Amino acid sequence: MSENSTSVTYASAGVDVEAGDRAVELMKDAVKATHNASVIGGVGGFAGLYDLSALSSYRKPYLATSTDGVGTKVAIAQALDIHDTIGYDLVGMVVDDIVVCGAKPLFMTDYIATGKVVPERIADIVRGIAGACKVAGTALVGGETAEHPGLLAEHEYDVAGAATGLVEADELLGPDRVREGDVLIGMASSGIHSNGYSLVRKVIDVAGWGLDRQVDELGRTLGEELLEPTRVYAADCLDLAAAFPVNGADGQTGHGIRGFSHVTGGGLAANLARVLPQGLEGRVDRSTWQIPAIFSLIGSLGQVPLADLERTLNLGVGMIAIVDPAVADAAVSRLNERGISAWIMGDVVKAGGAELNNPDYVQGAKGVDGGAVRLYGSYAV
């Protein structure tokens, strides 16, 4: 080494190992609070361990898994320097995909990539993840924080997560159980949730609106509305499935829940079509609910066509239950009692012929050659 050479260390390259350790100390109590008797070991192991001894009581257990992130909603959190809610978005996107098939999400792991580890910021993110895991009844068993200087700016980060769930084979929900005459129940979203933020951010940017702008229609600032965390439906869906089971491989024994649809990217129609079988069509009556103010605002502010809004945003519906008509009213009441605003929004009928170039009609979606969905009527005012 020459006399004039400069010693290069990991710290001088932009990675602070001690900051990562401090972040773990700040978050570990929140993570431990999600653990139950099935979680083996504590925080900080190379792998999260989960005791599956309970599988011995299952007749034919299926594992379910899902992974996701929260998209560009992280840009809103970073702009506002508020980081304790984005974890709810992450958990909701992951575990609510798992419950669609009737599986209980058992455990979850997370991954955070950032330009610079700020312990308090990382701890806030993980506290949000842990808080949402408690709501879902899911253990947070591990995670990773990676510092990427030179790739991400110091204030930038992205989050992702994965979860694993479990369901009995003969209790699996999905298209095979759906029948003509079934009823569609909508469950209200808490807001935009975590999809479509590229559209939303573009609209407010073109309009020149700041996140600190007070918006009368919203009753708060634009930033507060956009950062509203995703509603986590997992525990509510599992409660509904347990209260109104459909037993038997043919899906016809009992009068209960046939399946769920998590309304995420692609909007209501495309996601509902994924869980309907070929030959059936879901009819959704727009007049059964009023579009929340934030969606109307984005539409009018950006002059966004209704068809584009419907295939991008949830427009006030975050989850749909497909149920036997005999239990539809009771299912709505049970959800309302649990604090979930729910209503009958449509039904399932025999499908007609495919309709090309009709924005109100969707046939199959996201690689699934499934059923069809037709939206009709006008939204309530």
Fold of 14-168: 60s Ribosomal Protein L30; Chain: A; (3.30.1330)
- CATH placement of domain 175-376: 3.90.650.10
Q: How far apart (Å, rounded) are the C-alpha atoms in residues 211 and 342?
A: 30
Q: Is 5 exposed, middle or buried (0-12, 13-18, 19+ CB in 10 A)?
A: exposed
Domain ranges of the chain: 14-168, 175-376
pLDDT at 370: 84
Q: Is 59 exposed, middle or buried (0-12, 13-18, 19+ CB in 10 A)?
A: exposed
Q: How confident is the model at residue 193 (pLDDT cuts 50, 70, 90)?
A: very high
Return the H-helix or E-strand segment holding 159.
strand 157-168
Q: Give the side-chain half-sphere CA count within 13 A for 314.
A: 24
pLDDT reading at 5 higher than 70: no
The model's pLDDT over 197-245, given as tens digits with 9 standing for 90+, comes to: 999 999 999 999 999 999 999 999 999 999 999 999 999 999 999 999 8
